[in-house]
């Protein structure tokens, strides 16, 4: 079964600085998708960024970018110019494609605090 | 706003009771997923429906069941409730055959079992 590991339960960063959240995963499949979801205090799950395993180019979305290392099964999230609104739980998640079901497997999450 | 709606937002009930959580997917999405978020188990996939048919099951207890109706809304039924069932229950929807395989989450239903 696939697993997702986030080794940093909590992190903090100064406003306007850069922070990197780590994620590793385990799968025997070659085709899959990786995601980072943000869960602010409102508890809403918000998709931050996604990466297809077949794409070598790292995904970017404004201040958010990933470092996808397929051989190492690593998928880290970099947040640049951190803002107070980035304070949230961040979940790394994984979907295997091709099986007809696309359920997300989540890591335990990293609680990020942005300090003014 | 993701376009996925869930009702009710909060639910407080007693042990042994039965409750029904409702989810309406985004317009055009055929697939509905149910997830449970609890302090000790984290976010766990429960069950998926696609166009009215059960597609996949995760760590769903036998006391729990779900269905998806012809109008594509879904209901999650939880029975013989226990204290440990207290959690945030999310519904998500997606276009299974969609290009991006993105799942859009509803705001969740907070269930408290006393």
Beta carbons of B55 and A106 less than 8 Å apart: no
Inter-chain touch B42–A104, beta carbons under 8 Å: no
Q: Cα-flanking dihedrals φ and ψ of residue A84, to 5°? A: -55, -35
Question: Which chain B residues in 80-109 lie under 8 Å from chain A, judged by CB atoms?
Answer: 88, 90, 92, 94, 96, 100-105, 107-108
Helix (H) or strand (E) holding B11: strand B10-13
What pLDDT digit, counting tens, does each position of A29-67 carry? 888 889 999 999 999 999 999 999 888 899 999 999 999
Structure confidence by residue, pLDDT tens digits, A5-31: 999 999 999 999 999 999 999 988 888
Interstrand relation of A46-52 and B53-57 (parallel, antiparallel or unpaired): unpaired
């Amino acid at each position: 079964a696939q697993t997702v590991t986030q080794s940093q339960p909590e992190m903090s960063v100064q406003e306007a600085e850069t922070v990197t959240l780590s994620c590793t995963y385990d799968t025997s499949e070659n085709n899959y998708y990786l995601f980072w979801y943000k869960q602010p205090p409102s508890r809403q799950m918000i998709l931050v960024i996604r990466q297809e395993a077949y794409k070598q180019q790292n995904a970017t979305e404004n201040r958010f970018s990933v470092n996808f290392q397929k051989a190492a099964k690593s998928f880290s999230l970099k947040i640049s110019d951190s803002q107070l609104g980035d304070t949230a739980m961040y979940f790394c998640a994984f979907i295997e494609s091709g099986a007809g079901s696309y359920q997300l497997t989540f890591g335990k999450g990293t609680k990020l605090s942005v300090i003014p | 706003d993701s376009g996925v709606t869930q009702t009710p937002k909060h639910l407080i009930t007693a042990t042994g009771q039965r409750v029904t959580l409702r989810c309406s997917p985004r317009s055009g999405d055929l697939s509905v997923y149910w997830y449970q978020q609890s302090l000790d188990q984290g976010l766990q996939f429960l069950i998926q429906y696609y166009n009215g048919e059960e597609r996949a099951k995760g760590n769903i207890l036998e006391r729990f069941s779900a269905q998806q109706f012809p109008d594509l809304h879904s209901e999650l039924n939880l029975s013989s409730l226990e204290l440990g069932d207290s959690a945030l229950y999310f519904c998500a929807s997606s276009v299974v055959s969609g290009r991006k395989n993105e799942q859009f989450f509803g705001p969740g239903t907070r269930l408290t079992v006393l």
